[in-house]
Amino acid sequence: MTQKTIFKRIIDGEIPADIVYQDDLCLAFRDINPQAPTHILVIPRKEITSVNDLADEDQTLVGHLYLVIRHLAEEHQLVSSGYRVVVNTGADGGQTVDHLHFHLLGGRSMQWPPG
Ligand code: AMP
């Protein structure tokens, strides 16, 4: 059996996280190593490794995750200043945890192109 990812362990309540939002489909918690004043990870409860592993049936779920991100951006006063949503995918994308996650970054000006 493959080992649980750190995010699955957070979903299962095995390790603590600073959870800022949760519902039936997803969980949002503060990144342990924040790269901006606001750095929240939004993850589906369903175990999906990355964007590469999304199935047609996940269409509604992904839409839901984006609506949660919009809600969190409003709640954390990021709407007027702006923010960035990042989904690192695979080795070149910089993905380090094999459970789909959306980074919500805000509270400072972002650069482009990303490093
Ligand atoms: P990525 O590099 O896109 O896969 O992002 C994984 C993110 O998870 C990184 O920004 C880490 O800082 C963050 N992270 C890893 N472990 C934890 C944890 N236990 N609680 C919160 N964030 C974590």
**pLDDT tens-digit profile of 44-76?**
999 999 999 999 999 999 999 999 999 999 999
Domains of the chain: 6-106 (3.30.428.10)
Give me the pLDDT at residue 2, please.
Answer: 79
Residue 95 CB–ligand 1 contact under 6 Å: yes
DSSP string, 16-72: ---EEEE-SSEEEEE-SS-SSSEEEEEEESS---SGGG--GGGHHHHHHHHHHHHHH
The atom of ligand 1 lying closest to the CA of 39 is 10
101: annotated active-site residue: yes
Q: What is the overall mean pLDDT for the chain?
A: 97
**Model pLDDT for residues 3-15, shown as the tens digit of each residue:** 999 999 999 999 9
